[in-house]
Amino acid sequence: MALLPQILPSPRPHPHLAASRYPFSPAHAFRTAPRLHASGHRRRGRLAASGPGSSPSPSPDQYPSEPDDGLVELPLFPLPLVLFPDATHALHIFEFRYRIMMHTVLDTDLRFGVVFAGSDGASDVGCVGEVVKHERLADDRFFLICKGQERFRVARIVRNKPYLVAAVQWLEDRPPAETPAPGEDAEALAVEVEALMRDVIRIANRLNGKPEKEVGDLRRGLFPTPFSFYVGNTFEGAPREQQALLELEDTAARLRRERDTLRNTLNYLTAASAVKDVFPSSPSSG
């Protein structure tokens, strides 16, 4: 169940999103979309734990050794979703090439790259998914839960058979080049974004006939950067907006964009709530 209702993305286009594609024809790389079921919720049932329990976020030296150019080779899984650091997704994998990939992943470091693939191709910025639990079925299908780790940018494709493998470089948010204006630093923006999320949830509950109870702690002590990823993960149903947020390398810029999106959504919900108050539906109508 989504934390937020359908959000209204910021109207500002992301300057890099349109050009953020692989330097080769996606039609050759992804002839068919991966056949799988993906969801942001944990699948019920017993799953085998992958790895030694709850391990801390990996550092780059936990990945395969880097070639001389400083890049790391990573198997890629194009999906119609965006994975954020620390977010979890449940996947059901039954297409042959991705079953082959999962065999390799489970026998090595449990990690693969998730890239958003839409109708116009695959993005070149993605997030590492680490398999934390998995279940292999008798027909060689897999149910697994992966957790987002580091972001990366694809530098080049190493091979595309039997599945995609790319050389990638890690992405991290950069510190601000200048001292931010009052109220525009990452911490102040995080506080504002959390307040907007509370308002959006409260009014959405009212529109859906749910009690307007106090919304709990949404931030949960997170610093601005991980909180910005958490917020982006709640923007379900808007994968292109999520991809734009994932690609930003500035925490404050990401929070500002999320603030704009939440303001748009709040304005829409407030107007819808006002209309509902003026023209309440009649129980006898219909």
Token reading at 177:
């080049």
Mean pLDDT of 221-231: 98
CA–CA dist 87, 135 (Å, integer): 19
Token reading at 209:
């006939």
**Residue 216 scores a pLDDT above 50:** yes
Mean pLDDT of 72-82: 96
What's the pLDDT score for residue 2? Answer: 59
pLDDT level of residue 119 (50, 70, 90 thresholds): confident
Per-residue pLDDT reduced to its tens digit, 135-161: 998 889 999 999 999 999 999 999 999
Write the CB contacts of 42 (distance below 8 Å, at least 6 apart in sequence). Answer: 88, 90, 145
Distance from first CA to last CA of the chain, Å, rounded? 29
Mean pLDDT of 96-110: 95
CA–CA dist 215, 234 (Å, integer): 15
**Residue 60 scores a pLDDT above 70:** no
Domain ranges (residues) in the chain = 26-54+66-171, 186-276
| Percent of the chain residues past pLDDT 90, beyond the cut | 59
CA–CA dist 50, 279 (Å, integer): 54
Token reading at 156:
């080049």
Higher pLDDT, 189 or 42: 189
90-to-30, 36, 58, 76 alpha-carbon distances in Å: 22, 10, 20, 17
Torsion of CA 70, 84, 237, 213, to 10 degrees: -160
Token reading at 277:
């108050």
Torsion of CA 39, 222, 55, 35, to 10 degrees: 20
Considering just the CA atoms, what is the radius of gyration of the chain in Å? 21
Helix axes 186-207 and 224-233, enclosed angle (nearest 10): 30
Q: With respect to CATH, is domain 26-54+66-171 assigned 2.30.130.40?
A: yes
The predicted model scores a pTM of 0.78
Could you tell me the sign of the dihedral formed by the alpha carbons of 236, 241, 246, 248, in that order? negative
The DSSP element (H or E) to which 18 belongs, if any, is none
Question: Taking every pair of C-alpha atoms in the chain, what is the biggest distance, in angstroms?
Answer: 73
Torsion of CA 85, 11, 240, 175, to 10 degrees: -30
Write the CB contacts of 222 (distance below 8 Å, at least 6 apart in sequence). Answer: 230
